[in-house]
């Protein structure tokens, strides 16, 4: 088996349909949808499309968890003992188990919510962040950026479960949220340990994280305003080792990502 498996080699059964993140962001229908004045973009049960949006999001969580599992698994394999410390690999193996459980939970929740595997497409940008050749960059891209997004998503879904009167959804999201806080903290701790005497490597890793964070903001998908379906979960991010300045920076990156996407769509129409 080779080291460094490219994203196009991720193995899936026949139910899965692959798409690209750019296709999703650049979908010309987005502009039309944006022009409709429906009030808050938050996931709220009173919105007519709330159930469909929640199902779509749950399927996205499901495919994201598969890729997180694959990314953590590859980090145990791709690096020799002198490139990644033994304890780091143990943490990644533990994350494999956690992500494996999250896939199981997502499959059952998807079933509970009335969707099925393959009903929505899969973009593999999450796994792409796990392909960095430096393990520190992977920790920043996956554990701090991707798992950070997962904190925001799970907290949003947990609140939706609460407001829509779905205790099963709320219960499961809360458990997954606990794991994600652990994974983000793991990333923050390893980032500090592995770059303690290497400020250049630290800056490179943080720059990679900024890029991934902006990409994960998906043109306004995540943020802190009424226009953002997924809300930045400041308290849980703080628990996971993010400073207030770092959270402020992610909020600004998210706002920037929304402005960029609007400009792109306006330019292409």
Partner 1 sequence: MADPYKPRAAFAPWDRRELPGIFSVEDSARRVGNYKWLEMRLFESLGGWVATVPELDVKLVLGRHCYHHAWHAELMDKRLPELREMDTDRLCEAPNPEMEAFVEALREPEAPEHTIEKLVGVFRVLLPRKIAAYTYHLNGTSRITDSPTQRSLGFMLQDEFEDWREGEMLLQSLIETPEEVDRATRRQAELEKLILAAGGISGPGSLGPIVATEGASL
> What does the alpha-carbon distance between residue 117 and residue 133 come to, in Å, rounded to a whole number?
31
Assess 97 for contact with partner 1 (CB under 8 A). yes
**In the set 57, 92, 105, 206, which binds partner 1 (CB under 8 A)?**
92
By CB under 8 A, residue 104 contacts partner 1: yes
| CB contact burial 99-125 (16+ within 10 A = b; e otherwise) | bbebbebbbebbeebebebeebebbbb
Long-range (24+ apart) CB contacts under 8 A made by 170-178 are: 172/105, 172/108, 172/109, 175/105, 176/102, 176/105, 176/150, 177/151, 177/236
66-85: contacts with partner 1 (CB under 8 A): 66, 69-70, 72-78, 81
Residues near partner 1 (CB under 8 A), total: 34
DSSP-derived secondary structure letter, 243:
-
Shortest CA distance to 128 belongs to which of 44, 195, 55, 216?
Answer: 216
Binding region for partner 1 (CB under 8 A) out of 89-97, 167-175, 183-191, 203-211: 89-97
Instruction: Work out whether 24 is an interface residue with partner 1 (CB under 8 A).
Output: no
The Cβ of residue 262 has, within 10 Å, a number of other Cβ atoms equal to: 15
Binding of partner 1 by 9 (CB under 8 A): yes
Q: Does 8 bind partner 1 (CB under 8 A)?
A: no
User: Please, which of residues 122-181 interact with partner 1 by CB under 8 A?
Assistant: 127
CB of 8 to partner 1, least distance (A): 11
Contacts to partner 1 by CB under 8 A:
1-2, 5, 9-13, 66, 69-70, 72-78, 81, 86, 89-90, 92-94, 96-97, 99-101, 103-104, 117, 127
């Amino acid at each position: 088996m080779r080291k460094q498996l490219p994203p196009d080699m991720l193995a899936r059964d026949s139910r899965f349909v692959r798409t690209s993140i750019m296709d999703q962001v650049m979908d010309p229908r987005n502009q039309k949808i944006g022009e409709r004045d429906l009030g808050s973009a938050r996931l709220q049960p009173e919105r007519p499309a709330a159930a469909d949006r929640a199902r779509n999001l749950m399927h996205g969580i499901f495919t994201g968890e598969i890729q997180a599992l694959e990314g953590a698994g590859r980090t145990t394999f791709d690096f020799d003992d002198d490139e990644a410390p033994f304890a780091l690999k143990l943490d990644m193996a533990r994350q494999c188990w956690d992500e494996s459980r999250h896939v199981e939970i997502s499959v059952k929740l998807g079933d509970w919510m009335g969707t099925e595997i393959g009903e929505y497409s899969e973009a593999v940008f999450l796994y792409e962040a796990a392909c960095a050749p430096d393990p520190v960059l992977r920790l920043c891209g996956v554990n701090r950026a991707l798992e950070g997004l997962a904190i925001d998503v799970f907290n949003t879904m947990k609140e939706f479960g609460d407001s829509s009167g779905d205790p099963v959804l709320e219960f499961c999201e809360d458990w997954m949220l606990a794991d994600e806080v652990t994974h983000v903290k793991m990333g923050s701790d390893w980032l500090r340990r592995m770059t303690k005497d290497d400020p250049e490597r630290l800056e490179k890793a943080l720059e990679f994280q900024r890029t991934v964070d902006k990409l994960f903001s998906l043109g306004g998908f995540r943020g802190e305003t009424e226009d953002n379906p997924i809300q930045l979960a400041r308290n849980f991010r703080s628990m996971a080792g993010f400073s207030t300045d770092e959270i402020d920076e992610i909020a600004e990156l998210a706002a920037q990502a929304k402005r960029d996407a609007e400009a792109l769509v306006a330019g292409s129409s």
